[in-house]
Amino acid sequence: MKVRLPVRQAILNRHTYEAPAEGRTGKMRLDFNENTSGCSPAVRRALAKLTAKQLATYPEYGKPTERLARYFGVRPEELLLTNGGDDALRVFFDTFVEPGTSILICEPTFSMYRYWAEIAGGRVCPVRYGANMEFPAEEVLAGLRKNPRVLFIANPNNPTGTLIGEKELRRILQAATQTVVVMDEAYAEFSDFTALPWIQKYSQLFVARTFSKVAGLASLRLGAVLASAESLALVRRAMPPYPVNLAALIAAEAAASDSARMRAYVAEVKRLRVWVAKELSELGVKTYPSAGNFLLADFGPDGPALCRSLERKGILLRDRSKDMGSGFVRITMGTSSEMHRLLKAIRREWKPSAQNGVTPK
C-alpha cells in the first residue's frame, strides 16, 4: 500500500545533497582539501591496539576531552566533540534556529551553512565576497543590524582562501549583540590566526574546528565546537549522548600527540601555496591569496574543459564554475610530487588564449 508521507515542507523544497565523492580511489585527489600525505603513523598504531571488547562498548568522553582540550588550549568544559565538522555546524541550527529566522552568510563559501539552514527552515541572507575575494566587512556589519540568529564565517574561507584578522573580527563581535557568531576554522592551522583566545571575552562567539584537514582524519569524522562554558552548555542540550565513535577519539588523541607531523605538513602547504601560485601566474593564470591548504585559480572560459581533461588523466580538481563563474577552480595543495605532476599536466592540457582572457608572462 502506498501512502503519502508527512514530510516537512523544508525537505520537499530542497534537493538531496549529492557529494561528488565516489569513484575517486586511486586518483590524485586535489578536489576535497584532504591531507593527501595521510595521517600520522601514530594514528595507525593507536587504532591497531583497539580490542574487540572496546568496540563492543559505548565510548567514554571524559579523558579524551581533557586531552584534546589541552591540544586546543582550552578547558574541558569549553570543548564539545562532534561527529565531524559538518555535525559541528548542525548543532547551531538545532540550538538557535527556528523556522523563518534569518541566517547571515558570506558567499561563495562552504555549502553546508546553506544546507543546514534550508533543512531547519531558516531564511538565508547572503552577502558576497568582493571581485578580488576580499571579505565584505561593511555588508556584514549592515546585516548584523537586522539581528540575524546566526552569522557563519569560514576563516579562512573556502573556496576563496580569504582570511579576516583581529581588527575585522573585533568590529563584528562588537556589532553582534543579538547574534551568534560562528567562526568555522577548518583551515585555521594554515593561517596563523584563530579566534579561540576570544571565547572568554565574547559569549556569542563559537569556534568550529575539524580533524579532517591538518590531522588527516577525514574518514573518521571528528569535529569540535569551542566556546565559553556557559554558552557551550546551551549547545550540549541539542547533542545526543554518544555522537563520536571510539576510533575517532583514539585517532585524534594520537594525531594531537604528533604535533611535529602536523607542523611539517603545514609548513609544506605554505611553501607549495607560494610556489604553485607563482607557477600559475607565469602561465597567465590568476590566483587569489589563500590562508588555507588550497588555492583558488581563474582559468577563464576554458577552465571547465581543463578540469574534465585532467580528470580523464586521474587528476581531480574542484570546478567552481557553477557558483562562481566559468573558469574558477579550487586546487588542494597535495604533496610536492603531486603538485609537480599537476603543473606538468596543466602546461600540457591548457593553452592560454585571448578567449580565456589571460596572457602568459
pLDDT tens-digit readout, 268-302 = 999 999 999 999 999 999 999 999 999 999 999 98
pLDDT of residue 4: 86
The Cα–Cα gap between 253 and 258 comes to 9
DSSP E strands, 38-116: 79-82, 102-107
Mean pLDDT (the chain, rounded): 94
- Grid cell for residue 263: 607542523
pLDDT tens digits along 298-333: 999 989 999 999 999 999 999 998 889 889 999 999
Alpha helices by DSSP H, 79-202? 84-96, 112-120, 137-144, 166-175
Rg from Cα positions in the chain: 21
Residue-range domains of the chain with CATH: 9-36+260-349 (3.90.1150.10), 42-258 (3.40.640.10)
pLDDT at 222: 97
Q: Which amino acid is at 38?
A: G
Q: 3-class SS at 294?
A: strand
**Residue 328 and residue 270 in contact, taking contact as beta carbons nearer than 8 Å:** no
CA dist 79 and 230 (Å) reads 11
| Distance in Å from the first CA to the final CA of the chain | 68
pLDDT at 273: 98
Report pLDDT for 350: 84
pLDDT of res. 12? 81
Answer yes or no: are the C-beta atoms of 127 and 175 closer than 8 Å.
Answer: no
pTM of the full predicted structure? 0.94
What pLDDT score was predicted for residue 359?
53
The per-residue pLDDT for 355 is: 45
Where the chain has pLDDT below 70, the residues are 17-21, 353-361
